[in-house]
Structures are given as structure tokens and as C-alpha cells.
Structure 1
Amino acid sequence: MEAISPIKRLAIHGVELYYEHYENPGKHTLVCVHGFLSSAFSFRKLIPLLRGHYEIIAVDLPPFGQSEKSRTFVYTYTNLAKLLIGLLEKLNISQAALIGHSMGGQISLSAALLKPELFSKVVLLCSSGYLKRSHPSIIFGTHLPCFDLYIKYWLSKEGVLKNLLNVVHDQMLINQEMIDGYEKPFTDRQIFKAMTRFIRHREGDLQPDELKRIDKPSLLIWGEEDRVVPFSVGERLHHDLPDSILYSLKETGHLVPEERPEFVSERILEFID
């Protein structure tokens, strides 16, 4: 009997979402939410360790991954959180736990704040935190006709390999499969125009008073060598989230789902169950 493909697409609030749905009827649902410039691909090592225990949904947030690169959607964190909520409602899922990496952690917190009854717990993996909105000069620049070309130039100059070297501590983990997986979404030229809107619309991270209203149990896991979101951000989130646990990992960088999937999966199993 042919296996059912986990790859799915659904239009939510007028935007086509790509997601992977690893069905496991009767089990608690986990929703994996990736970070900036990433996709569901970043959970490729974590999902196999968890799919026997849970039903798992890994989403590509627009305009990243294989989701639509809409040029009309307003890319605020609030609207992205509403897409997650809309997807779960469309799938008739009454409750789920969120697993957010980097920017995905901030969007997960926004979703939990918007509709707390839908979410049981939140797992934050090197979550972004306390970032302000883009500088007004950058927001002004996004209205210039060629700003998308500047984004394309900047990303090409940095290159996927350079970015990966910045987010992992053990550089021996980087191989061609990893490079190709993170590079693939950027072969679609439409992403650069959509990213222009993303930079323009992003409203900034949740403030301490908002975080203090999120009473969901929260598990925080951080790499002590994280150069993107320092461990001090994790400590601050731990302080502001009323019901949280914080773990730190030595010799580990920002990409904890790739670098320490066994440790992360074990802590998630303990935390959810």
C-alpha cells in the first residue's frame, strides 16, 4: 500500500500555505514553526524523533519555503500567527503545542496570545525576542522600486554557506544536502519582492507586558554559543514568561533543531507528556 504523502497545501486567509502533516490519530498535535530565511526543512532531524509520539504539522511561513510569495499579504507577526490559527481551525484541530525556532518562536508566542484556548504549551528554540520594528529609513527604502534587487544582492553576497557557518557551532555538520535544502526556496525570484513587504510590515517582537500575559507552560532551549539570538535573550524570556523552564546547551549555536535534535526531542517528550 502506497504511503500517504505528508506534503499538503491549503489556502488560509487568501494565502496558499505549504505544510507537512505527519498524521498520528489520537495523539497530541505539535506545530513546528521555523525562523527567518528558513522553512520546515529546519525540523528535518527533529520530526523523525517525534512523529511516533505525536501528530506533527510543520509549516512554511509565507513568503519563505514553498508557501506563496504573496505581494498583497501584510506580513506582520500577528497576521502570520493568524495563519497558524486558521490552518489548525481548517484541519479541525482543537488543541496543539507550538514549537518555534528563532523568529518562529516569536510568532508562536503571538499565536498563543491571540487564541490561548487553542494552544496547550509552547516550546521556544533560540527564539527571537525584544527586537524592535525596522528603522524608519529601512522601511522608507522598501518603497523604492529596486529594493528587492538589493535584498537579492545582499543574500547572494552572504551566501547560504556563510549564513550556515554563523548559525551552527560545529561546522562539520554542514554538508551539501544541508546547503541545498536551505538554498532551494531562494531560487524562486518572487521571494525578494515578498521579503520587501515582510521587512516593511514586521511590527517588532512582543513586549514584556504582553509576554507576562502568556500563562502557557513554556520550554526554552538555547545554545550557549548562539551568535544570532544570545543566551541572554533566553534568560530574559524565561524571566518574563510566567511559567517557563530554560535549558542551555554548551558548544551549541543557533540552529538547535539541526545541532542537538536528540536532546531537544527528549526535553519535548518530557515537557509535553
Structure 2
Amino acid sequence: MEEKVFYRNQLVNDINIYYEVYPNPDSKKTLVLLHGFLSSTFSYRRLIPFLNKEFQVVSIDLPPFGKSEKSSNFVYSYRNLAQTVIQLISALDLKDITLIGHSMGGQIVLNILHQQPDIAEKAVLLCSSSYSKRSKLPLIIGSYIPYFHLYVKFFLARSGIMQNLQNVVHDHSLISDEMLFGYLQPFLKDEIFLALTRMIRDHEGDLSTVLLKQIAHPCLLIWGEYDKVVPLSVGKRLKNDLKESELVILRETGHLVPEERPEDVFQHIKQFLA
């Protein structure tokens, strides 16, 4: 089947959201993809062609990342980001959904399931962030200082895109110029750093263990054995807190599993949804 894609923008929850639709007329199921922190739909580019063989795929740029709006007035709490995705799903009238989230996107998926349990039957969590706390008070207060966004920009520039990719990819030979530019491109304008400053202020922390235990959806957890960002120990803890979940460990793999092991991830998802 020849891959087709539609690039769209939609105003929901007072912010403009960029998303991509990969139709599959032979499937009634839709997979909704949510990326991680400092990333975008770009991180799914190697996985989507596999998924699209079997399913319709909708990949969303969570604000303020990728090509979505970078507003300094939007509330970037996980609760509100989840609500934004819920409203977009409703606006697009998507049915028979499975939510898939990588890293921060996985935590947004969990927030969506908590807020609106009937929106999806199943979920796939790829190295999902979990158990992080709200930013410390001095950092929140500091975010109100004029030009604080320049500190955020300096902090990210100091670590550098190459160093960040080496931290999330176990096999460094996979890092290419395409990857470097793809992950760098959204950060070439200062407006993203103003929005990230607001995000530091708004992030309320991940769902508590009590709330996680209330999620009854079947969840597939896929983790890289050598994840340095969200260690495998977090995946094992999450498996215990989600009452109907299974954990798959990808050997010799880091945090960025959609980049490193797209075909393996697809096969596990396909089996999970069969």
C-alpha cells in the first residue's frame, strides 16, 4: 500500500495543534501517537510506515513542540495537554482508538485515560515518564524573572543536540545528520524557550500511584534495556501499578525506542492489538 499523509492544523482548547494523518482504508482502528519532551512527530517517522500497514495513524505535535503553536499564555500542565488531545480526538471524530505515548507522551496518555476512560480501549507506553514530581519552588519562582527563557535556551544549548541524542540512543551509529537537524529544527527560534519557561511553571507532576491503580485499560509497556532517561526500574514499577499491563524489554536498546527498534516495536503493538 502506498503511504499517504495529510498535514493538518486544528484550533482546540485555545491553541493551534499540528498533526499528521496516515489513512488506512482497510482498518477501522486508529493509533494516536504522542511524542516525548523536546521532541515531535519527527521521532515516529521510522515507526509510522510499519504501523500504517495495519492501522490508520494520527501523530500529534504536543504544544509547544514541533509545529504546534508556542503560546506563552497556554497552560502547559499535563492535565491541560491531555485535555487538548481529548478535544482534538473529539473534533476529528476518531473512533476505535489506541493511544501510544513515548516518554512524556506516555504520561499524557495516562492522564487522558484518567480523565476520560472511555476514549480508548487500550494504550501502549514506550519508556513512559512516571513518578516525577512538580518543579521545585525556587525554579518556579525563577521562571517569572524577565528573560528567564534565555537561561533555558543556554541550558539546552550547553548540553547540545549531539550529547542529548547520545543519551537517548544506545547505538550511537544510528545518529545521522537527518536526526541531528530533525531534533534541532524546532529550537531555532526563541519562541519555544518562552513556552518552555511557562511549561516549567505549569507542570504539576506525574499521576500518583493511587491514580495509576485506578486505570483499568490493558496497557503494553515497551522499554529499552539501557534507558538512561526513564530507567527500566520505572517500567517495572509502572507495571505493578497498572492493574492490567504487560512489560516488554528490548535488549541493547536505549530510551528512543521508536528510532532504534521500529520494526520490533510494531510487531509487539500488532500482537497486543490482535
Q: After TM superposition, is the score higher than 0.5? A: yes
| Matched position secondary structure for 1:27 | coil
Provide Cα deviations, 1:201-241, integer angstroms capped at 9, x if missing partner.
Answer: 00000011100111000000111111100000000000000
Is the 2:168–2:228 contact (alpha carbons within 8 Å) kept by the matching residues of 1? yes
Shift of 1:155: 1.1
Q: How far apart, in 1, do the equivalents of 2:120 and 2:4 lie?
A: 27
Q: Mapping of 1:130-145 within 5 angstroms?
A: 130-145=131-146
Shift of 1:137: 0.7
Shift of 1:95: 3.3
Is the 2:62–2:68 contact (alpha carbons within 8 Å) kept by the matching residues of 1? yes
State the Cα RMSD in Å.
Answer: 1.3
Q: Which amino acid aligns with 1:30?
A: L
Shift of 1:4: 6.1
Q: Mapping of 1:215-254 within 5 angstroms?
A: 215-254=216-255
Q: Which amino acid aligns with 2:149?
A: D
TM-score (norm 1): 0.97
| Consecutive unaligned residues in structure 1, runs of 5 or more | none
Equivalent residue number for residue 13 of structure 2: 13
Q: Mapping of 1:54-203 within 5 angstroms?
A: 54-203=55-204
1:22 aligns with 2:18: no
Is the 1:112–1:214 contact (alpha carbons within 8 Å) kept by the matching residues of 2? yes
Instruction: Work out the number of aligned pairs and report it.
Output: 272
| Matched position secondary structure for 1:7 | strand
| Matched position secondary structure for 1:162 | helix
1:258 aligns with 2:259: yes
| Matched position secondary structure for 1:124 | strand
Q: How far apart, in 1, do the equivalents of 2:86 and 2:24 lie?
A: 20
Equivalent residue number for residue 212 of structure 2: 211
Is the 1:40–1:65 contact (alpha carbons within 8 Å) kept by the matching residues of 2? yes
Q: How far apart, in 1, do the equivalents of 2:229 and 2:62 lie?
A: 20
Shift of 1:93: 1.2
| Matched position secondary structure for 2:73 | coil
TM-score (norm 2): 0.97
| Matched position secondary structure for 1:73 | coil
Shift of 1:5: 4.4
